[in-house]
Amino acid sequence: MRRAAAAWEAAPSAQAQHPSRVAETKFEVEWVLTTIAFGTAEDSIAVLIFVKLLSAPSEDVREKVVWALGNLAGNTTICRGLVLPHGALLPVLQQFCGFPKLSMLQKASWALSNMCHGLSQPNFEHVKLALQVLRQLIHSQDDEVLSHACRALSYLSDGGNDNIQAVIEAGACPQLVKLLNHSSPSVLIPVLHVIGNIVSMDDVQIQYIIDLQALPCLLNLLMTNQNKGIKPEVCRIISNIMAGNKEQIQSVISGNMVGPLVHLMQTAEFRVRYEAAWAIVNAASGGAHDQKKYLVSQGCIKAFCDLLTYSDTSILMVCLEGLDNILKVGEAEKSPWYCNVNMYAQMIEDAGWLDKIENLQNHDNNRIVEKAVCLLESYWSNEDKAMPMPMPMPWDDPLSWLVEDHTLDFGFFAPQGDCDFG
């Protein structure tokens, strides 16, 4: 540390008196920074003294310092927690001014991303200055810069309402929605993470994302993107939107997204199935009566029942909850014209899916057992099974056969009026 500090202090006079000494000074600084950056946390603390090197006239020196600080910030939480309070952020942000080399942009955006990672709430105040720079960086044509900038925003949006609102107010969201059409997963995944955090908060923020026309982009990713990390994030965003109000649920329905979600529940890998199931459950919980019937028309009952063979308790609870919400619609639709039968419960029984619910009575998890028993008792108990009303017989009411126009169907027409047996 002392060697590098002394080298830096000596640099101006060395440059004035011995120009050849500048290269040697730069080499010493680089060597010490590299040693410290790869050292222990205790050694790494020493590099904070070199924050002043970020004002060096040589861009090569500054680029090395930015790299070292980025490496330090990405090293441990303790080191990262020391970088920001010692004033490293502002001089790093200043490296984006003017016309820096692409290599500087890449290293500085990477360092900035590391500085934003895993922040506590007090440290968020240190990095709010970075939001305006990041808003500009997400317009970069370089995928590496773009990826680092989007990842920084994803870290900044992790801290709760205030953080998310700060990202929104910085004006980053319109460009983030446009980046949903980007081809690189290294860009898409952090962008999806930011948007997912935004729509997880309240209906106002959900509507803001809907109004930016994000749904068509999400549908495209749902239907076409094959990257394993993309589809779970897309389903999570749609799930959060489906947890909004009825108008927002209708936006998803009108966007023709329910059918693909149900399809993924039946065909995708487990993580995608789970997130897609949550999306349908949220709609089945908070949607209007007709919206829930639409879910049934798209095949959600079969999709829920098919997932009941999984051993994972989380997806079992989600599916049982979804079935409960759908079966409540069937209860509300009961009619004397259909013998007071819950048509959705009857559908499950007729298709042979009831056994899957009954089998869960023997599950190891008590919550699963309780939920399965609750469904069986609510919708399939013997006491509540609807039976066709028996036809009244004349002996039930001695006068019933005298009522005008009352006939009994014994295979022939009963005569009307007076009967002449003479």
Domain containing 94 — which CATH number?
1.25.10.10
Percent of the chain whose pLDDT exceeds 70: 77
Based on the structure, what is the number of domains in the chain?
A: 1
Range of lowest pLDDT (71-80, 103-112, 309-318, 359-368)? 71-80
CA dihedral over 366, 370, 371, 373, signed as positive or negative: positive
Give backbone dihedrals phi and psi of 312, rounded to 5 degrees, phi first. -65, 125
Among candidate residues 16, 21, 8, the one with its CA nearest the CA of residue 62 = 8
Establish if 85 belongs to a structural domain: yes
Residue 396 in domain:
no
Q: What average pLDDT score do residues 244-273 get?
A: 97
Question: Is 282 within a domain?
Answer: no
What would the pLDDT profile of 22-44 be if each residue is shown by its tens digit? 555 566 666 665 555 555 555 45
Q: H or E stretch including 229?
A: none
Distance of CA 270 to the CA centre of its chain: 15
Four-point Cα dihedral 72, 76, 82, 85, nearest 10: 90
In a domain, 88, yes or no: yes
In a domain, 217, yes or no: no
Asked whether residue 387 carries a pLDDT value surpassing 90, the answer given is no
User: In this model, does residue 401 exceed pLDDT 70?
Assistant: no
Structure-block tokens of residue 329 = 């619609």
| Cα atoms in the Cβ-side hemisphere of radius 13 Å centred on 105 | 21
48 domain-assigned: yes
Whether the pLDDT of residue 370 is over 50: the answer is: yes
pLDDT of 30 reads 61
Residue among 228, 220, 135 nearest 181 (CA): 220
Q: Which domain holds residue 40?
A: 1-127
Distance CA 362, CA 359 (A): 6
Cα separation, 68 vs 138, in Å, equals 23
State the pLDDT at residue 29.
60
How far is it, in rounded angstroms, from Cα 27 to Cα 180?
Answer: 43
Residue 37 is predicted with a pLDDT of: 53
> What's the confidence (pLDDT) of residue 398?
44
- Residue 96's pLDDT is 95
Mean pLDDT of 85-104: 90
* pTM beyond cutoff 0.95: no
Give a yes or no: residue 347 inside a domain.
no
3-state secondary structure of 279: helix
- Highest mean pLDDT pick, 355-364, 379-388, 390-399: 355-364
**Residue 151: pLDDT over 90:** yes
Q: Fill in the amino acid letter for 120.
A: S
Where is average pLDDT lowest: 64-73, 160-169, 375-384? Answer: 375-384
Q: How far apart are CA 160 and CA 162, in angstroms?
A: 6
- Take residue 11 and report the two structure tokens written for it: 């640099």
**Start-to-end Cα distance in the chain:** 131
Q: Which residue has the tokens 């002392």?
A: 2
Quote the CA–CA distance of 383 and 377 in Å, as a whole number: 9
Q: Measured between alpha carbons, how far is 317 from 321 in angstroms, rounded to an integer?
A: 6
Residue 114 maps to a domain: yes
Write out pLDDT tens, residues 270-316. 999 999 999 999 999 999 999 999 999 999 999 999 999 999 999 99
Among 83, 144, 158, 146, smallest CA distance to 114 is for: 83
Other Cβ atoms within 10 Å of 116 Cβ, number: 28
Altogether, the residues listed in the chain come to a count of 422
Q: Which of 153, 220, 216 shows the shortest CA–CA distance to 187?
A: 153
